[in-house]
Chain A
Amino acid sequence: MNLLEVSDLKVYYHTTKGVVKAVDGVNFIVEEGTSVGLAGESGCGKTTLGLSFLKLLPENGMIEGGSLIFEGDDIYSLDEKDFRVNVRWNQISMIFQGAMNALNPVFKVEDQIAEAIKLHSTKTKKSERLATARDLLKRVDIDPTMGRHYPHEFSGGMRQRAMIAMALACDPQLVIADEPTTALDVIVQKQLMDLLRRLKAEMNLSMVVISHDISVLAELCDYLNIMYAGRIVEWGGIEGVFENPRHHYTHGLISTFPTVEDKERKSTFEFIPGAPPNLLDPPLGCRFHPRCPAATEICRQEPTPELREISEKHYVACHHPRGDLH
């Protein structure tokens, strides 16, 4: 069963220069108990998509169309208060890039975790909430007594762990992790990925992991969505997408990462020519066509190609998909 089902979502930013179509007709599915990756370059709309699940968009960001079905309910039709009390953190929580400034600097860490519990189960006692907060810290391998300290007394990795502990405070069904390991060194990244994998298995969590680093997603996810210029251009099982990318953008994105296993590719880096399009005025036709090696006349014309199933559970939005390697 699908836990989360997003259909034809459109999120636009209204700026003084015009309308930025950050998310423009996205379909997105999370099956229960799976973790789904969302990858793409900076500015492709992946963070906007993540924030729109919780309706956390900046003031000028508007959800212009589409629906979000969570556990069979259309949660976009809930009123503000219902959404805030029942959906946010209780059903869907979010791991922000906690190494930076995601924790409030003037409150103790355990109080910030306890606050999340208080907001969604008001009948608990303060002592119970703090005890739960400390348990959660223990669960992410932080000494529970550290909860009495402030975020600035934590290292970057610890802050990220505390952020994860906070995200689990209300037993959510879905956790969205936006760049959970960015800005941390590789050792800490590895520890955090192990932690997320362990928690996912222990708590049967469903997750959406957003990152520009597809190697992180390869470690954590069952499915992978590739986003380009506000649209999903390819999605499928992680192995299928990685080993057999059908969209030229996906292929380019994967090729930009060095590998230690493939001896032939070891010495060369490929790159995608050009720059991501301006979302104020995206190119007509397939949005990738100005940078695509396989572009033809049909790619330059409207309409933009839709996702189609190219093999089982592997979808691609391309007129000339790359050949099947199998």
Chain B
Amino acid sequence: MSLKRYILKRILYSFVLLFFALTLNFIIFRMAPGNPIQIVASGMRLEPEQVERLIELWGLQEPLHVQYVRYLKSTLTWDFGYSYNSLEPVGREIMERLPNTLLLMGVSLFFAITFGTVFGIYAAYKRGSLFDLTSVSISLFSYALPTFWMGLLMIYVGGYVFGLFPLAGTMSRPPPLDPIVRIFDLAWHLFLPGLTLFLFQYGAWLLMMRSTLLEALHEDYITTARAKGVSERGVLFKHAFRNAMLPLVTNIALQIPGLLNGAILTETVFSWRGLGLYTWSAIQFTDYPVLQALFYIFALVTIVCNLIVDVVYGYIDPRIQY
């Protein structure tokens, strides 16, 4: 099969998968306990007529299949309706929060991959040394800690005991006007949640890089390379790393969706105004439109990441045939 046909096939599969995810999102939230009307009605002390007006406005009186079709249409046109909670358009609220989440995830992922890979290679190279032992122990520890607990610890130590970092939020209030001061203010707020998510991923990267590299270093072709007179550096970075890289690429795709989970907890703990915190508050309110939109985006990210890796894998591993 040619590469083009393979990619087309994978894209088609992705659409089918997305459709299933969409349907599941619709069912899950309607099966979940909690009634959005009740939450809003009791919170705002609405009269019975007002409640009925609200039900009609949100279209909840209609049979489920009609709601389902309307939901599909609104999702696919990227118009997610209005939040039950804030009554603002969901699309706009998401776009407001998306950059914050991308920043938090991007920065922590970038540093986790960089440091995890570099130290993982070094630990594999110096296997059995004190460096190897300490970095593996630290990685296991930071990888095993739950993010919310680590986050609370960071706030307590960094924010409360030493008072070096803000306790919560994305930016000072009111936000500084000078753009440069604004960037520093954002970075200052980003530090603790970023560090938390970084530690959460860093351990996993280091351990994986180390073990795949060690596995590759025991292969016969490494002995061949050494026999040919390849230097230790060449053996490590050319012959072993090129092979160890393959499972790592798969892992990036699997880590990004997992990172979203980590982001929900981390953002909530730090009141970081991103999609994670938004998800958390939407769950509290049984805010159907918001939840559906967010879970649709999470599903989309997961499916697209997997698609990209499948295609990239074909380029970096010559053994993959289409």
Contact = CB atoms under 8 A, between A and B. Distances in A.
Interface in B219-235: 219-221, 223-231
Contacts of B239: 104
Interface string B232-245: 00000001001100
A56 B226 CA distance: 7
Interface stretch (A29-37, A82-90, A237-245, A260-268): A82-90
A115 B228 contact: yes
A106 B227 contact: no
Contact of A119 (B223, B228, B318): B228
A84 B231 contact: yes
B229 A105 contact: no
A176 to B, nearest CB: 9
A152 B224 CA distance: 16
B318 A56 contact: no
A105 B221 contact: yes
Interface string B260-297: 00000000000000000000000000000000000000
A175 B221 CA distance: 18
A105 B231 contact: no
B227 A89 contact: yes
A102 interface: yes
B219 A101 contact: yes
B318 A102 contact: no
A131 interface: no
A96 interface: yes
Given A150-B318, A150-B319, A104 B228 contact: no
B56 interface: no
A120 interface: yes
Contacts of A116: 228-229
A78 interface: no
Given A104-B243, A150-B318, A88 B228 contact: yes
A213 to B, nearest CB: 19
B230 A106 contact: no
A111 B231 CA distance: 17
A89 B243 contact: no
A119 B227 contact: no
26 contacts: A56-B223, A84-B229, A88-B226, A88-B228, A89-B227, A93-B228, A96-B224, A97-B220, A100-B220, A101-B219, A101-B220, A102-B221, A102-B223, A102-B224, A104-B225, A104-B239, A104-B242, A104-B243, A105-B221, A105-B243, A106-B243, A106-B317, A115-B228, A119-B228, A150-B318, A163-B224
Interface of B: 219-221, 223-231, 239, 242-243, 246, 316-319
Given A104-B242, A166-B228, 5 more contacts: A89-B229, A94-B224, A104-B243, A106-B243, A106-B316
